[in-house]
Structure formats: structure tokens, C-alpha cells
Homo-oligomer: A and B are copies of this chain.
Amino acid sequence: MKFLQVVTIEVARQKLLEVSQGWLVATETLPINQAMGKVLAEDIFAIEDLPHFRRSTVDGYAVVAKDTTAAGESLPTFLKVVGVVEMGQGTNFAIKAGECAEIPTGGMLPAGADAVAMVEFCEPFGTDEVAVYKSVAHGSGVIQVGDDMRAGDTLLSKGKRLTPQDIGALAVAGVADVSVFAPPKIAFISTGDELISPHHAPLTDGKIRETNGISLSALAQKHGYHVEHTAVVADDRDAIKQAVSHAMANCQIVAVSGGSSQGKKDMTADILGELSTSGVFVHGIAIKPGKPTILAFDEATKTIMVGLPGQPISAMTAFDLLFGWLARQTTQSPEPFAIPANLSTNVPASEGKMTVYPCTLALNHNQYTVTPIYAKSGLIATLTTAHGYFVINRDTEGHRQGDVVMVHLF
């Protein structure tokens, strides 16, 4: 049995980031109506001032504001109506002092006007006059040219995960297509003589259903990866080596799960070492669960290889902490928001390890309480009740009831 050179999660991440510098992070161009949830691979600048013309925000009359200074309920100002602004049309006439023009919400102000009096405070008078019963300030009822965005402004930055609001802003700005990060390709290879297809029933003695290929694929998709393929392979050195080698040809990440027993752990490490130019560079990470995780990199094919524990929760935890983080790093995306919550109970730290606790959240008067879920290693059913997880760092002695921890949502 090899000694595991256990490193911290920070060291493992840093090494992962270093080798990923050799990655070609691909981008693709998508029409904006297909880009929701994708991460921008370019800065987006406004190419023109928006609005492009002075727009009215109300129904009413475009006026020269100072004409209305003395207007009041008992003493209206009378203005001459010299035109009607049509929706969606240019306004090719001007108004002078003492004049006004009828204008709809969204209409283009005529030259000379600097405010819009709301229709609610105006009353037509005779055939071509209007009485204004309230004074309006300069700029009132008007969106100025460039109020929304100025040509050259940065509208959205590289790394932004596009929301519906962002898609709307792109449409307003006339951006039809955007460059977004293409999902890196990943393969999941589950190993073990004990594994049978999840769709194969009934179970026989000694067998369990294969889970990691399915649950890790779902997790990878959540983090923006494309799952190129999954495979289930028996505990056979040549078969595993062939499966990994095959996947390396067209994937940026090849993940091998299984090998919880000591002999199998060594086999996975040996295979990843043999197939990578720079060999295994992480062999054990100080996280709980997920400690027996192996990382290797092959320079020739630019493939990151990872050996994950066989137990589903351990495998998901290690993958999430490493490759969820890497996906955000390579796309310059910010970390997702976490929820501050007060612990309902004391929680111990594991000596020398960062410990990940699945947990439930309960809201009471704008304040969340968090309760850890304790499950035996390898039992996944309890996880379905978890809302997310929190972490206790290796340099703490745990936390007391009432302490605030940050909960990362599943």
C-alpha cells in the first residue's frame, strides 16, 4: 500500500489550475436567445447611445419647461398645439416658446421641447390649444439620449453567467450573437466487479447498482461541462487502461471512479500515472469525504485525469470541490452566492481535514438555521433531504451552536 501524499484542497486546486493553463478553453458563438445561463467569453460594449433619441416616459404634451413655471390648478398655462408625435416615427418638426406637441409614451421629443406634461394635468382647449394645470421641471417625463447606455460603455464583462436580464440588455443594445465558453468535454469511467446497471433488476448478493456515472454526469452538467460519454468497466487493469486511453483522445477531463479498497486505489493511481506525461501530481486530499482522490495530467493530449472514490457521496464531493471550482476559474466566473445561516447544533471539525457537511435550512423571521445531516459514508438516500452543504475548515476546532456558516446550495 502506497503512502498517500495528502495535500490541502487549496494546493490541489492550485495544481489543477496550473495544468489547466495548458487547456484550450474553447468558445462558441450563439444567438442571444440560446445563450441564457452560458458564461460570456468576451466583454460586450455598447455600440451606440441608447435610447437613440429623447423618449417620453408618459402620455402627454411635449413642452418648453419654463413656459409652465407659473401653471397651477387655478391658473393654467395655455400652449398652442403645433404637432402630433407618432409612435415609432421620427419627429421632424420643432416647437418654440408657447408651443407644444401631443406625444405618446415612448414617442420621440420634438426639437425645442425639454419636458413632457402628463395628460392627466392637461386639458384641450378650443381647436389647437391645451391648458396645462401643473408646472413641469426641465427633463421631467423624458429619457435622455444615452440614459440607458453610452456608446463604448462596458455592458457585460467576460465571465458573466447570462441572466434573462442580461439577455434583455443585449437585445436592447442590438447584440445578436455572443461568444460564450464552450463546455469542456468530460468522460466518466466507473470501475468495479460489484457494479451492475441501474436499470438491471433485481439485485443479487454482492452487487450494487452503478451510480457514479449518472450522478457525476448530472453534477458536471450543472457546472457547465459536456459529458462526452460514460462507461462501466470491471476491475481489470487492461480494460480500465484501455477505457481511459480511449477517453483521453477526445475529452479534456477523464474521471475514473471506484477503487475504494487499497489494492484498487493503487491500480487506479498506477494506470493514471502510466498514461500521463507528468504523472500523478496529487495523491490524496485533506477533505472529508473525498480523501482518496488522485490527479494526473497528460501534456500530449492536454487531458486532466482524476481518480475519484467509489462511494457516491465521496465522489460527488471531491468532484464538486475540484471541478466546480475549476469551471468557474477557467471562465472567470464569480463563486455562486451562499446563504449565511446559524448552526442549530455544535459541529466538530475533523483533525487536519476540511469537512463537508450536507445540511438542511429552515427560515424563521428572515434568518436561516442550518442543521447538518450525519450519514454513514456511502449512504446517499439521506442526501435527498439536504438543501446544500457547509464546510468546516481544517484549521478550526469546529463550530458552536449559533455560529454562522455559509451554506452552498445543491
Q: Which residues of A contact B (CB under 8 A)?
A: 32-33, 36-37, 46, 48, 50-53, 55, 57, 59, 86-91, 104-108, 119, 143, 147-149, 153, 155-156, 160, 163-176, 192-195, 198-212, 214-219, 221-222, 235, 260-264, 310, 312, 316, 337, 339-340, 361, 366-368, 376-381, 383-384, 386-387, 404-406, 409-410
| Residue in B closest to A234 when the chains form the complex, CB atoms | B88
For residue A2, give the distance in angstroms from its CB to the closest CB of chain B.
14
The reply to whether A33 and B88 contact each other, CB–CB distance below 8 Å, is no
The reply to whether A156 and B312 contact each other, CB–CB distance below 8 Å, is no
| Residue of A87, A104, A147, A410 with most partner-chain B CB within 10 A | A87
| Residue of A33, A153, A380, A384 with most partner-chain B CB within 10 A | A384
The reply to whether B164 and A366 contact each other, CB–CB distance below 8 Å, is no
Contacts of A208 in B (CB 8 A): 51-52, 55, 106, 172
The reply to whether A381 and B202 contact each other, CB–CB distance below 8 Å, is no
The reply to whether B168 and A214 contact each other, CB–CB distance below 8 Å, is yes
Contacts of A87 in B (CB 8 A): 192-194, 206, 235, 261
For residue A371, give the distance in angstroms from its CB to the closest CB of chain B.
15
Contacts of A36 in B (CB 8 A): 218, 221-222
Instruction: Give this chain's copy count.
Output: 2
- A contact patch SS: loop
Contacts of A175 in B (CB 8 A): 198
The reply to whether A172 and B53 contact each other, CB–CB distance below 8 Å, is no
| Residue in B closest to A160 when the chains form the complex, CB atoms | B384
Contacts of A368 in B (CB 8 A): 337, 340
What are 26 A-to-B residue pairs whose CB atoms are below 8 Å? Answer: A36-B222, A37-B222, A50-B381, A57-B377, A59-B261, A87-B206, A104-B264, A106-B208, A119-B262, A143-B378, A147-B376, A148-B378, A153-B381, A163-B410, A164-B218, A165-B386, A168-B218, A169-B381, A169-B384, A171-B198, A174-B198, A337-B361, A340-B368, A366-B404, A366-B405, A366-B406
The reply to whether B156 and A174 contact each other, CB–CB distance below 8 Å, is no
Query: Which residue from B59, B166, B195, B404 sits with its C-beta under 8 Å from A384?
Result: B166
Instruction: Kindly state the separation between the CA atoms of A371 and B32 in the bound complex, as whole angstroms.
Output: 28
The reply to whether A379 and B147 contact each other, CB–CB distance below 8 Å, is yes
Instruction: Kindly state the separation between the CA atoms of A173 and B211 in the bound complex, as whole angstroms.
Output: 9
The reply to whether A164 and B222 contact each other, CB–CB distance below 8 Å, is yes
For residue A370, give the distance in angstroms from its CB to the closest CB of chain B.
11
| Residue of A153, A167, A222 with most partner-chain B CB within 10 A | A167
The reply to whether B198 and A89 contact each other, CB–CB distance below 8 Å, is no
Instruction: Kindly state the separation between the CA atoms of A144 and B409 in the bound complex, as whole angstroms.
Output: 30
Contacts of A164 in B (CB 8 A): 215-216, 218-219, 222, 316, 410
Contacts of A380 in B (CB 8 A): 148, 165, 168-169, 172
The reply to whether B203 and A48 contact each other, CB–CB distance below 8 Å, is yes
Contacts of A153 in B (CB 8 A): 381
Query: Which residue from B46, B165, B216 sits with its C-beta under 8 Å from A410?
Result: B165
| Residue in B closest to A383 when the chains form the complex, CB atoms | B165
The reply to whether B32 and A310 contact each other, CB–CB distance below 8 Å, is no
Instruction: Kindly state the separation between the CA atoms of A53 and B160 in the bound complex, as whole angstroms.
Output: 48
Known interface pairs A170-B198, A173-B381, A337-B387; 17 further A-B residue pairs with C-beta atoms within 8 A, sorted by A's residue number: A53-B206, A87-B261, A90-B206, A91-B206, A104-B263, A143-B378, A155-B381, A155-B384, A168-B383, A171-B209, A171-B214, A171-B215, A172-B312, A174-B199, A174-B201, A337-B368, A340-B368
